Structure 1
Amino acid sequence: MSLARRIVAEGLGTLLLLAVVVGSGVMGARLAGGNDAIALLGNTLSTGAGLVVLIHMFGPISGAHFNPAVTLATVLRRELGPVDAFGYIAAQIIGAVLGVWLAHAMFALPMLQISAHTRGGWAQGLAELVATFGLLGTILAVSKHRREFTAVAVGLYITSAYWFTASTSFANPAVTLARGLTDTFAGIAPASIPMFIAGQLGGALAALAVFGWLLAEDHA
Protein backbone atom coordinates (compact mmCIF):
# COMPACT_ATOMS: atom_id res chain seq x y z
CA MET A 1 0.00 0.00 0.00
CA SER A 2 1.45 3.40 -0.97
CA LEU A 3 2.52 5.83 1.74
CA ALA A 4 0.04 8.43 0.47
CA ARG A 5 -2.89 6.04 0.92
CA ARG A 6 -1.68 4.99 4.36
CA ILE A 7 -1.33 8.61 5.50
CA VAL A 8 -4.80 9.51 4.22
CA ALA A 9 -6.20 6.45 6.00
CA GLU A 10 -4.59 7.53 9.28
CA GLY A 11 -5.91 11.07 8.92
CA LEU A 12 -9.42 10.04 7.94
CA GLY A 13 -9.61 7.35 10.61
CA THR A 14 -8.49 9.76 13.32
CA LEU A 15 -10.93 12.39 12.06
CA LEU A 16 -13.81 9.94 12.37
CA LEU A 17 -12.60 8.78 15.78
CA LEU A 18 -12.68 12.34 17.15
CA ALA A 19 -16.07 12.97 15.58
CA VAL A 20 -17.28 9.89 17.48
CA VAL A 21 -15.65 10.89 20.78
CA VAL A 22 -16.71 14.54 20.77
CA GLY A 23 -20.07 14.04 19.05
CA SER A 24 -21.19 11.27 21.39
CA GLY A 25 -20.05 13.40 24.33
CA VAL A 26 -22.23 16.28 23.16
CA MET A 27 -25.21 14.01 22.51
CA GLY A 28 -24.78 12.22 25.82
CA ALA A 29 -24.60 15.48 27.77
CA ARG A 30 -27.69 16.85 26.02
CA LEU A 31 -29.79 13.77 26.68
CA ALA A 32 -28.55 12.95 30.19
CA GLY A 33 -30.24 15.91 31.87
CA GLY A 34 -27.18 16.77 33.94
CA ASN A 35 -26.38 13.17 34.93
CA ASP A 36 -22.67 12.84 34.14
CA ALA A 37 -22.69 9.08 34.65
CA ILE A 38 -25.29 8.62 31.92
CA ALA A 39 -23.44 11.03 29.64
CA LEU A 40 -20.18 9.14 30.18
CA LEU A 41 -21.91 5.82 29.53
CA GLY A 42 -23.19 7.04 26.17
CA ASN A 43 -19.76 8.46 25.32
CA THR A 44 -18.11 5.18 26.31
CA LEU A 45 -20.34 2.85 24.31
CA SER A 46 -20.14 4.98 21.19
CA THR A 47 -16.35 5.29 21.38
CA GLY A 48 -15.74 1.58 21.99
CA ALA A 49 -18.07 0.52 19.18
CA GLY A 50 -16.68 3.14 16.82
CA LEU A 51 -13.11 2.02 17.45
CA VAL A 52 -13.91 -1.57 16.52
CA VAL A 53 -15.44 -0.49 13.21
CA LEU A 54 -12.72 2.05 12.37
CA ILE A 55 -9.92 -0.44 13.02
CA HIS A 56 -11.61 -2.95 10.71
CA MET A 57 -12.09 -0.23 8.08
CA PHE A 58 -8.59 1.19 8.03
CA GLY A 59 -6.46 -1.58 9.53
CA PRO A 60 -5.80 -3.30 6.18
CA ILE A 61 -4.63 0.02 4.72
CA SER A 62 -2.47 1.69 7.37
CA GLY A 63 -2.62 -0.53 10.43
CA ALA A 64 -5.20 1.82 12.00
CA HIS A 65 -2.89 3.44 14.53
CA PHE A 66 -4.89 6.70 14.92
CA ASN A 67 -2.48 7.37 17.81
CA PRO A 68 1.08 8.79 17.91
CA ALA A 69 1.88 6.54 20.88
CA VAL A 70 1.07 3.47 18.78
CA THR A 71 3.05 4.85 15.84
CA LEU A 72 6.02 5.53 18.13
CA ALA A 73 5.83 1.93 19.36
CA THR A 74 5.95 0.60 15.80
CA VAL A 75 9.03 2.73 15.08
CA LEU A 76 10.83 1.47 18.19
CA ARG A 77 9.92 -2.09 17.17
CA ARG A 78 11.36 -1.35 13.70
CA GLU A 79 8.05 -2.08 12.01
CA LEU A 80 7.75 1.45 10.56
CA GLY A 81 10.38 3.86 9.30
CA PRO A 82 10.86 7.38 10.70
CA VAL A 83 9.71 9.11 7.51
CA ASP A 84 6.52 7.07 7.36
CA ALA A 85 5.97 7.67 11.08
CA PHE A 86 6.28 11.44 10.64
CA GLY A 87 3.57 11.31 7.97
CA TYR A 88 1.36 9.14 10.18
CA ILE A 89 1.66 11.42 13.21
CA ALA A 90 1.09 14.61 11.20
CA ALA A 91 -2.03 13.04 9.65
CA GLN A 92 -3.28 11.89 13.06
CA ILE A 93 -2.98 15.35 14.60
CA ILE A 94 -4.55 17.13 11.62
CA GLY A 95 -7.31 14.54 11.39
CA ALA A 96 -8.01 14.81 15.11
CA VAL A 97 -8.48 18.58 14.93
CA LEU A 98 -10.70 18.28 11.86
CA GLY A 99 -12.75 15.62 13.65
CA VAL A 100 -13.40 17.99 16.56
CA TRP A 101 -14.50 20.70 14.15
CA LEU A 102 -16.74 18.25 12.32
CA ALA A 103 -18.46 17.34 15.60
CA HIS A 104 -18.95 21.03 16.38
CA ALA A 105 -20.48 21.58 12.94
CA MET A 106 -22.86 18.62 13.28
CA PHE A 107 -24.20 19.99 16.57
CA ALA A 108 -24.28 23.64 15.43
CA LEU A 109 -21.65 24.65 18.00
CA PRO A 110 -19.01 27.38 17.59
CA MET A 111 -16.20 25.90 15.52
CA LEU A 112 -13.31 27.48 17.41
CA GLN A 113 -13.28 26.68 21.12
CA ILE A 114 -10.77 26.23 23.95
CA SER A 115 -11.71 23.80 26.68
CA ALA A 116 -12.10 25.01 30.27
CA HIS A 117 -12.42 21.44 31.59
CA THR A 118 -9.43 21.13 33.95
CA ARG A 119 -8.15 17.59 34.46
CA GLY A 120 -5.13 18.34 36.64
CA GLY A 121 -2.97 16.57 39.18
CA TRP A 122 -0.48 13.71 39.23
CA ALA A 123 -3.27 11.15 39.61
CA GLN A 124 -4.59 12.08 36.15
CA GLY A 125 -1.12 11.60 34.68
CA LEU A 126 -0.83 8.22 36.40
CA ALA A 127 -4.24 7.26 35.04
CA GLU A 128 -3.08 8.09 31.51
CA LEU A 129 0.09 6.05 32.04
CA VAL A 130 -2.03 3.06 33.09
CA ALA A 131 -4.54 3.58 30.26
CA THR A 132 -1.84 3.75 27.58
CA PHE A 133 0.13 0.88 29.09
CA GLY A 134 -2.98 -1.28 28.87
CA LEU A 135 -3.82 -0.14 25.36
CA LEU A 136 -0.35 -0.92 24.01
CA GLY A 137 -0.31 -4.19 25.92
CA THR A 138 -3.63 -5.13 24.35
CA ILE A 139 -2.37 -4.36 20.87
CA LEU A 140 0.96 -6.13 21.29
CA ALA A 141 -0.34 -9.28 22.98
CA VAL A 142 -3.56 -9.79 21.06
CA SER A 143 -2.05 -9.02 17.65
CA LYS A 144 0.63 -11.64 18.32
CA HIS A 145 -1.70 -14.47 19.34
CA ARG A 146 -5.19 -13.54 18.03
CA ARG A 147 -4.59 -10.94 15.32
CA GLU A 148 -8.12 -11.18 13.94
CA PHE A 149 -9.49 -10.23 17.39
CA THR A 150 -7.34 -7.10 17.83
CA ALA A 151 -10.01 -4.58 16.76
CA VAL A 152 -12.56 -6.00 19.19
CA ALA A 153 -10.00 -6.25 21.98
CA VAL A 154 -8.99 -2.60 21.58
CA GLY A 155 -12.62 -1.46 21.56
CA LEU A 156 -13.39 -3.50 24.68
CA TYR A 157 -10.29 -2.28 26.50
CA ILE A 158 -11.08 1.39 25.84
CA THR A 159 -14.70 0.82 26.87
CA SER A 160 -13.46 -0.57 30.18
CA ALA A 161 -10.71 2.03 30.66
CA TYR A 162 -13.18 4.91 30.29
CA TRP A 163 -14.51 3.76 33.65
CA PHE A 164 -11.59 2.33 35.62
CA THR A 165 -9.14 5.20 35.00
CA ALA A 166 -9.52 8.57 36.70
CA SER A 167 -8.81 10.35 33.42
CA THR A 168 -11.44 8.42 31.38
CA SER A 169 -8.63 6.99 29.25
CA PHE A 170 -7.58 9.42 26.54
CA ALA A 171 -4.50 7.18 25.92
CA ASN A 172 -3.62 9.11 22.75
CA PRO A 173 -1.57 12.33 22.33
CA ALA A 174 -3.36 13.39 19.12
CA VAL A 175 -6.76 12.89 20.75
CA THR A 176 -5.58 14.83 23.81
CA LEU A 177 -4.35 17.81 21.79
CA ALA A 178 -7.55 17.95 19.73
CA ARG A 179 -9.82 17.66 22.76
CA GLY A 180 -8.21 20.84 24.06
CA LEU A 181 -10.07 22.55 21.22
CA THR A 182 -13.57 21.64 22.39
CA ASP A 183 -15.33 23.11 25.41
CA THR A 184 -17.81 20.23 25.47
CA PHE A 185 -18.20 17.13 27.63
CA ALA A 186 -15.09 15.53 26.06
CA GLY A 187 -12.82 18.57 26.42
CA ILE A 188 -9.59 19.04 28.35
CA ALA A 189 -8.10 22.39 29.34
CA PRO A 190 -4.79 23.14 27.59
CA ALA A 191 -3.01 23.44 30.95
CA SER A 192 -3.84 19.78 31.64
CA ILE A 193 -2.51 18.48 28.33
CA PRO A 194 1.25 18.20 29.12
CA MET A 195 0.63 15.93 32.11
CA PHE A 196 -1.64 13.71 30.02
CA ILE A 197 0.83 13.38 27.16
CA ALA A 198 3.71 12.69 29.54
CA GLY A 199 1.69 9.88 31.11
CA GLN A 200 0.74 8.50 27.70
CA LEU A 201 4.31 8.39 26.43
CA GLY A 202 5.51 6.87 29.69
CA GLY A 203 2.82 4.21 29.49
CA ALA A 204 3.71 3.39 25.89
CA LEU A 205 7.40 2.99 26.68
CA ALA A 206 6.65 0.88 29.75
CA ALA A 207 4.36 -1.38 27.73
CA LEU A 208 7.02 -1.85 25.07
CA ALA A 209 9.53 -2.92 27.71
CA VAL A 210 7.22 -5.20 29.69
CA PHE A 211 5.37 -6.85 26.81
CA GLY A 212 8.51 -7.03 24.70
CA TRP A 213 9.93 -9.25 27.42
CA LEU A 214 6.71 -11.17 28.10
CA LEU A 215 6.12 -11.97 24.44
CA ALA A 216 9.72 -12.77 23.50
CA GLU A 217 10.43 -16.25 22.23
CA ASP A 218 12.53 -18.48 24.47
CA HIS A 219 15.61 -19.96 22.78
CA ALA A 220 17.28 -23.13 23.91
Structure 2
Amino acid sequence: MNQAPPSRPQPLARRLFAELLGTGLLVTVVVGSGIAAAELSPDDVGLQLLENSTATVLGLAVLILVLGPVSGAHFNPVVTVADWFLSRRDPEGFSAGHVAPYVAAQVVGAAAGALLANAMFDVGTSFSDHERASGGHLLGEVVATAGLVLLIFALVRSDRVALVAPAVGAYIGAAYWFTSSTSFANPAVTVGRMLSDTFAGIAPSSVPAFVVAQAVGGVIGVGLALALYPSPAITPHTHQGETRA
Protein backbone atom coordinates (compact mmCIF):
# COMPACT_ATOMS: atom_id res chain seq x y z
CA MET A 1 0.00 0.00 0.00
CA ASN A 2 2.95 2.25 -0.73
CA GLN A 3 2.13 5.90 -1.27
CA ALA A 4 5.19 6.62 -3.41
CA PRO A 5 8.31 4.80 -4.51
CA PRO A 6 11.13 5.44 -2.05
CA SER A 7 14.02 7.50 -3.36
CA ARG A 8 16.50 4.72 -2.61
CA PRO A 9 16.35 1.03 -1.77
CA GLN A 10 15.19 0.32 1.77
CA PRO A 11 17.13 -2.44 3.57
CA LEU A 12 15.07 -5.54 4.22
CA ALA A 13 15.59 -5.24 7.98
CA ARG A 14 14.09 -1.75 7.94
CA ARG A 15 11.12 -2.91 5.89
CA LEU A 16 10.51 -5.82 8.24
CA PHE A 17 10.67 -3.52 11.23
CA ALA A 18 8.11 -1.25 9.57
CA GLU A 19 5.81 -4.22 8.93
CA LEU A 20 6.20 -5.45 12.52
CA LEU A 21 5.61 -1.96 13.93
CA GLY A 22 2.70 -1.15 11.65
CA THR A 23 0.85 -4.43 12.17
CA GLY A 24 1.48 -4.21 15.90
CA LEU A 25 0.13 -0.68 16.17
CA LEU A 26 -2.86 -1.61 13.99
CA VAL A 27 -3.79 -4.40 16.41
CA THR A 28 -3.18 -2.06 19.34
CA VAL A 29 -5.64 0.39 17.81
CA VAL A 30 -8.25 -2.31 17.15
CA VAL A 31 -7.99 -4.05 20.52
CA GLY A 32 -7.37 -0.91 22.58
CA SER A 33 -10.30 0.99 21.10
CA GLY A 34 -12.45 -2.11 21.57
CA ILE A 35 -11.58 -2.23 25.26
CA ALA A 36 -12.18 1.50 25.65
CA ALA A 37 -15.50 1.25 23.83
CA ALA A 38 -16.70 -1.54 26.10
CA GLU A 39 -15.76 0.52 29.16
CA LEU A 40 -17.28 3.77 27.89
CA SER A 41 -20.51 2.29 26.47
CA PRO A 42 -21.09 -0.96 28.37
CA ASP A 43 -24.79 -1.20 27.53
CA ASP A 44 -24.73 -0.25 23.85
CA VAL A 45 -23.03 -2.69 21.49
CA GLY A 46 -23.84 -0.54 18.46
CA LEU A 47 -22.06 2.43 19.99
CA GLN A 48 -19.14 0.21 20.94
CA LEU A 49 -18.78 -0.86 17.31
CA LEU A 50 -18.99 2.74 16.12
CA GLU A 51 -16.23 3.78 18.51
CA ASN A 52 -14.08 0.79 17.59
CA SER A 53 -14.53 1.24 13.84
CA THR A 54 -13.87 5.00 13.95
CA ALA A 55 -10.55 4.52 15.75
CA THR A 56 -9.56 1.78 13.30
CA VAL A 57 -10.35 3.90 10.23
CA LEU A 58 -8.23 6.79 11.46
CA GLY A 59 -5.41 4.67 12.87
CA LEU A 60 -5.05 2.52 9.76
CA ALA A 61 -4.93 5.51 7.41
CA VAL A 62 -2.24 7.17 9.53
CA LEU A 63 -0.13 4.01 9.71
CA ILE A 64 -0.23 3.58 5.93
CA LEU A 65 0.87 7.18 5.45
CA VAL A 66 3.72 6.88 7.95
CA LEU A 67 5.08 3.46 7.01
CA GLY A 68 4.06 3.06 3.37
CA PRO A 69 7.23 4.67 1.99
CA VAL A 70 9.35 2.23 4.03
CA SER A 71 7.77 -1.20 3.54
CA GLY A 72 4.68 -0.69 1.43
CA ALA A 73 2.51 -0.84 4.58
CA HIS A 74 1.04 -4.25 3.84
CA PHE A 75 0.36 -5.16 7.50
CA ASN A 76 -1.47 -8.18 6.10
CA PRO A 77 -0.19 -11.56 4.78
CA VAL A 78 -2.94 -11.68 2.15
CA VAL A 79 -1.81 -8.33 0.72
CA THR A 80 1.82 -9.46 0.77
CA VAL A 81 1.09 -12.65 -1.15
CA ALA A 82 -1.17 -10.80 -3.58
CA ASP A 83 1.52 -8.20 -4.24
CA TRP A 84 4.07 -10.89 -4.99
CA PHE A 85 1.68 -12.76 -7.28
CA LEU A 86 0.60 -9.70 -9.24
CA SER A 87 4.18 -8.48 -9.76
CA ARG A 88 5.93 -11.84 -10.10
CA ARG A 89 6.70 -11.34 -13.81
CA ASP A 90 8.20 -7.93 -13.16
CA PRO A 91 11.92 -8.20 -12.35
CA GLU A 92 11.53 -5.12 -10.18
CA GLY A 93 8.37 -6.34 -8.44
CA PHE A 94 7.96 -7.68 -4.92
CA SER A 95 10.46 -10.48 -4.30
CA ALA A 96 9.20 -13.99 -3.54
CA GLY A 97 12.02 -14.33 -1.04
CA HIS A 98 10.56 -11.52 1.04
CA VAL A 99 7.08 -13.03 1.42
CA ALA A 100 7.90 -15.29 4.38
CA PRO A 101 9.87 -12.64 6.31
CA TYR A 102 7.08 -10.10 5.79
CA VAL A 103 4.43 -12.55 7.02
CA ALA A 104 6.52 -13.51 10.05
CA ALA A 105 7.03 -9.84 10.96
CA GLN A 106 3.31 -9.17 10.59
CA VAL A 107 2.28 -12.07 12.84
CA VAL A 108 4.84 -11.23 15.53
CA GLY A 109 3.81 -7.58 15.40
CA ALA A 110 0.14 -8.46 15.69
CA ALA A 111 0.73 -10.56 18.79
CA ALA A 112 2.83 -7.80 20.37
CA GLY A 113 0.15 -5.24 19.55
CA ALA A 114 -2.51 -7.22 21.40
CA LEU A 115 -0.24 -7.59 24.42
CA LEU A 116 0.43 -3.85 24.41
CA ALA A 117 -3.28 -2.99 24.30
CA ASN A 118 -4.01 -5.43 27.12
CA ALA A 119 -1.23 -3.91 29.21
CA MET A 120 -2.35 -0.32 28.63
CA PHE A 121 -5.87 -1.10 29.84
CA ASP A 122 -4.66 -3.48 32.57
CA VAL A 123 -6.97 -6.28 31.47
CA GLY A 124 -4.43 -9.09 31.49
CA THR A 125 -3.66 -11.38 28.59
CA SER A 126 -5.67 -14.51 27.95
CA PHE A 127 -7.14 -16.26 24.95
CA SER A 128 -10.47 -14.91 23.83
CA ASP A 129 -13.60 -17.04 24.20
CA HIS A 130 -15.47 -15.05 21.53
CA GLU A 131 -16.51 -17.71 19.01
CA ARG A 132 -17.04 -16.21 15.55
CA ALA A 133 -16.74 -19.05 13.03
CA SER A 134 -20.34 -19.29 11.88
CA GLY A 135 -21.16 -19.69 8.20
CA GLY A 136 -22.25 -16.07 7.97
CA HIS A 137 -19.10 -14.80 9.61
CA LEU A 138 -16.89 -16.81 7.26
CA LEU A 139 -18.77 -15.53 4.23
CA GLY A 140 -18.32 -12.04 5.63
CA GLU A 141 -14.56 -12.59 5.80
CA VAL A 142 -14.46 -13.77 2.19
CA VAL A 143 -16.34 -10.66 1.08
CA ALA A 144 -14.33 -8.27 3.27
CA THR A 145 -10.95 -9.63 2.17
CA ALA A 146 -11.86 -9.82 -1.51
CA GLY A 147 -13.01 -6.22 -1.44
CA LEU A 148 -9.87 -5.06 0.35
CA VAL A 149 -7.53 -6.76 -2.12
CA LEU A 150 -9.52 -5.50 -5.10
CA LEU A 151 -9.46 -1.95 -3.75
CA ILE A 152 -5.72 -1.87 -3.10
CA PHE A 153 -4.66 -3.31 -6.43
CA ALA A 154 -7.27 -1.43 -8.44
CA LEU A 155 -5.67 1.76 -7.14
CA VAL A 156 -2.12 0.48 -7.62
CA ARG A 157 -2.69 -0.87 -11.13
CA SER A 158 -4.42 2.35 -12.24
CA ASP A 159 -1.67 4.60 -10.83
CA ARG A 160 -3.73 6.07 -7.98
CA VAL A 161 -1.56 4.98 -5.05
CA ALA A 162 -1.93 8.38 -3.36
CA LEU A 163 -5.52 7.39 -2.57
CA VAL A 164 -4.67 4.10 -0.86
CA ALA A 165 -4.47 5.38 2.73
CA PRO A 166 -7.85 7.14 2.86
CA ALA A 167 -9.54 4.58 0.63
CA VAL A 168 -8.40 1.56 2.66
CA GLY A 169 -9.35 3.29 5.91
CA ALA A 170 -12.78 4.13 4.52
CA TYR A 171 -13.33 0.62 3.19
CA ILE A 172 -12.42 -1.08 6.46
CA GLY A 173 -14.66 1.35 8.34
CA ALA A 174 -17.57 0.52 6.05
CA ALA A 175 -16.85 -3.21 6.16
CA TYR A 176 -17.06 -3.15 9.97
CA TRP A 177 -20.75 -2.50 9.41
CA PHE A 178 -21.74 -4.26 6.20
CA THR A 179 -20.10 -7.61 6.98
CA SER A 180 -21.30 -9.97 9.69
CA SER A 181 -17.72 -10.64 10.82
CA THR A 182 -16.87 -6.93 11.30
CA SER A 183 -14.15 -7.32 8.67
CA PHE A 184 -11.00 -8.79 10.18
CA ALA A 185 -9.79 -9.36 6.55
CA ASN A 186 -6.25 -10.06 7.79
CA PRO A 187 -4.73 -13.34 9.03
CA ALA A 188 -2.05 -11.62 11.16
CA VAL A 189 -4.58 -9.36 12.85
CA THR A 190 -6.82 -12.37 13.41
CA VAL A 191 -4.02 -14.20 15.21
CA GLY A 192 -3.23 -11.15 17.31
CA ARG A 193 -6.84 -10.60 18.34
CA MET A 194 -7.14 -14.10 19.79
CA LEU A 195 -4.76 -12.94 22.56
CA SER A 196 -7.29 -10.53 24.06
CA ASP A 197 -10.45 -11.75 25.77
CA THR A 198 -12.24 -8.46 25.12
CA PHE A 199 -14.76 -6.88 22.76
CA ALA A 200 -12.34 -7.19 19.80
CA GLY A 201 -11.15 -10.73 20.52
CA ILE A 202 -11.66 -13.97 18.64
CA ALA A 203 -11.50 -17.48 20.08
CA PRO A 204 -8.48 -19.54 18.94
CA SER A 205 -10.88 -22.22 17.68
CA SER A 206 -12.32 -19.69 15.20
CA VAL A 207 -8.96 -18.53 13.86
CA PRO A 208 -8.19 -21.34 11.36
CA ALA A 209 -11.55 -21.00 9.63
CA PHE A 210 -11.19 -17.22 9.50
CA VAL A 211 -7.73 -17.50 7.95
CA VAL A 212 -8.99 -19.93 5.30
CA ALA A 213 -11.89 -17.59 4.49
CA GLN A 214 -9.47 -14.67 4.20
CA ALA A 215 -7.24 -16.67 1.86
CA VAL A 216 -10.24 -17.48 -0.33
CA GLY A 217 -11.21 -13.83 -0.33
CA GLY A 218 -7.67 -12.89 -1.31
CA VAL A 219 -7.78 -15.22 -4.32
CA ILE A 220 -11.11 -13.77 -5.39
CA GLY A 221 -9.82 -10.23 -4.94
CA VAL A 222 -6.75 -10.93 -7.08
CA GLY A 223 -8.95 -12.47 -9.76
CA LEU A 224 -11.22 -9.43 -9.80
CA ALA A 225 -8.26 -7.07 -9.95
CA LEU A 226 -6.84 -8.94 -12.96
CA ALA A 227 -10.23 -9.04 -14.67
CA LEU A 228 -10.79 -5.31 -14.24
CA TYR A 229 -7.18 -4.12 -14.55
CA PRO A 230 -5.36 -6.74 -16.63
CA SER A 231 -2.38 -4.46 -17.25
CA PRO A 232 -0.89 -2.15 -14.63
CA ALA A 233 -0.41 1.49 -15.48
CA ILE A 234 3.06 2.35 -16.68
CA THR A 235 4.76 4.10 -13.75
CA PRO A 236 8.34 4.51 -12.58
CA HIS A 237 9.55 1.22 -11.10
CA THR A 238 10.36 0.79 -7.48
CA HIS A 239 13.63 -0.80 -6.49
CA GLN A 240 14.14 -4.53 -6.69
CA GLY A 241 12.33 -6.34 -3.91
CA GLU A 242 10.21 -3.38 -2.81
CA THR A 243 6.45 -3.40 -3.03
CA ARG A 244 4.43 -1.10 -5.16
CA ALA A 245 1.27 -1.80 -3.16
Corresponding residue of 2:62: 53
Structure 2 letter corresponding to 1:35: D
The one-letter amino acid of 2:94's match is: L
Question: What is residue 157 of structure 2 aligned with on the other side?
Answer: 144
**2:48 aligned partner:** 39
1:85 CA displacement: 1.1
Aligned counterparts of 1:62 and 1:120: Cα–Cα separation in 2: 32
**What does residue 133 of structure 1 align with?**
146
- TM superposition shift of 1:123: 1.4
1:155-194 matched pairs, under 5 angstroms:
155-194=169-208
Aligned structure 1 segments of 4 or more residues deviating by more than 4 angstroms: none
Q: 2:129 aligns with which of 104, 112, 116?
A: 116
Identity %: 47
Q: CA deviation at 1:75?
A: 1.7
Is structure 2 residue 37 aligned with structure 1 residue 28? yes
TM (normalized to structure 1)?
Answer: 0.96
Quote the Cα distance in structure 2 between the aligned partners of 1:174 and 1:155. 17
1:9 to 9, 18, 22: 18
**How is 1:61-100 mapped onto 2 (pairs within 5 angstroms)?**
61-77=70-86, 78=88, 79-100=93-114
More helix by share: 1
Q: What's the offset of the Cα at 1:195?
A: 1.4
For the aligned residue pairs, the C-alpha RMSD in angstroms reads 1.2
The structure whose RCO (Cα within 8 Å, separation 6+) is larger is 2
Structure 2 gaps of 5+ residues are: 1-9, 233-245
SS in 2 for 1:130: helix
**Structure-2 separation of matches of 1:207 and 1:81:** 20
CA contact (8 A) 1:115 1:187 kept: yes
Q: TM-score when scaled to structure 2?
A: 0.86
Q: Find the counterpart in structure 2 of residue 216 from structure 1.
A: 230
The structural deviation recorded for 1:142 is 1.7
> Matched residue of 1:148: which SS?
helix
Q: How many correspondences in the alignment?
A: 217
Aligned mates of 1:195, 1:65 — CA distance in 2 = 22
Q: Does 1:103 align with 2:112?
A: no
CA shift for structure 1 position 211: 1.1
1:205 match: 219
Cα deviation for residue 120 of structure 1 reads 2.2
